[in-house]
Amino acid sequence: MDDATTLDRTDHEILVLLEENARRTMGDIAERVSLSTSAVKRRIDRMERAGVISGYTVVVDHAKLGRPIQAFTEVRFAGTADMGEIRTAATRLPRSKPSSPPPVTLTRWSGSACRTSSGSAGSSNSCGAVVG
């Protein structure tokens, strides 16, 4: 399954359903695409093995965790910095509570910035501590 042309219409329908809700049951998907549960499972397993489906995720409502502000900033590092150093630096950023995850996600982009970072904060003051 090296390119999208090997996916048929039913595979695409299954992907759309999983993108809408990755926790759907095989039975629910099977009913919606008019296949048996085992046929849906085989298709999903095949797409996972081929890397078409590379994982499943959750969408977190940061406001409900007391961090309603989302911030994005451009990050630049010296030419000698590697991703390990960058990740280590990110884990040292201030947290809203000791039990909170690091307030930043690093994303690699092309262009002048080395990375962009994004994070959530409980207030503009705590956001400023992270963004600088």
- pLDDT tens per residue across span 38-80: 999 999 999 999 999 999 988 888 788 777 777 666 666 666 7
Q: Are residues 121 and 73 in the same domain?
A: yes
Q: Are residues 126 and 84 in the same domain?
A: yes
Q: Are residues 13 and 43 in the same domain?
A: yes
Q: How deeply is 96 buried, as exposed, middle or buried, from its count of CB atoms within 10 A (0-12, 13-18, 19+)?
A: buried
Q: What tens digit of pLDDT does each residue of 23-32 get?
A: 999 999 999 9
Q: Is the pLDDT of residue 96 over 60?
A: no
Q: Are residues 37 and 77 in the same domain?
A: no
User: Residue 69 belongs to what domain range?
Assistant: 62-131
Does residue 54 fall inside a structural domain? Answer: no
Is this model's pTM higher than 0.85 or not? no
Q: How many structural domains are present in the chain?
A: 2
